[in-house]
């Protein structure tokens, strides 16, 4: 797994590496690279680019969340990609809740 840090305001390389180590391989099989960018529009967004096998994490300087919140969102996005083949605009509430619970159990 390749990790590129173009922005380190909220998360650092260790945070991303920790996710990669803990997350099941099935969650990560759709992408080979995680890039943390500086967001231009939204304070926080995760994008998936299947042709490039890339997960983009876009964080602006205005984002007020924590590193653990970012990693949890990466975990939810990864599970969504595994289930749907993309990141849906809106997950059903129960599915979102289930994904978050799975990540909490895994991270310990």
Question: How does pLDDT run across 13-36, given as a tens digit for each residue?
Answer: 999 999 999 999 999 999 999 999
Kindly report the CATH class assigned to 2-107.
alpha beta
Question: How does pLDDT run across 53-99, given as a tens digit for each residue?
Answer: 999 999 998 899 999 999 999 999 999 999 999 999 999 999 999 99
Measured between alpha carbons, how far is 99 from 7 in angstroms, rounded to an integer?
Answer: 26
pLDDT at 8 over 90: no
pLDDT at 12 over 80: yes
Would you state the pLDDT for residue 80? 98
Three-state DSSP state, 55 = strand
Long-range contacts, 56-61 (Cβ 8 Å, 24+): 57/11, 57/16, 59/7, 59/9, 59/10, 59/11, 61/9
pLDDT at 7 over 80: no
Bridge-based pairing of strands 54-59 and 33-38 is: parallel
pTM for the model stands at 0.94
């Amino acid at each position: 797994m390749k990790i590129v840090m173009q922005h380190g305001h909220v998360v650092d390389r260790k945070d991303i590496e920790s996710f990669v180590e803990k997350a099941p391989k099935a969650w990560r099989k759709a992408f080979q690279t995680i890039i943390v960018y500086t967001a231009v529009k939204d304070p926080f967004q995760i994008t998936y680019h299947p042709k490039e096998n890339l997960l983009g994490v876009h964080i602006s300087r205005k984002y007020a969340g924590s590193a653990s919140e970012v990693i949890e969102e990466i975990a939810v996005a990864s599970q969504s990609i595994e289930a749907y083949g993309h990141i849906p605009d809106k997950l059903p509430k129960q599915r979102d809740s289930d994904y978050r619970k799975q990540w909490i159990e895994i991270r310990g």
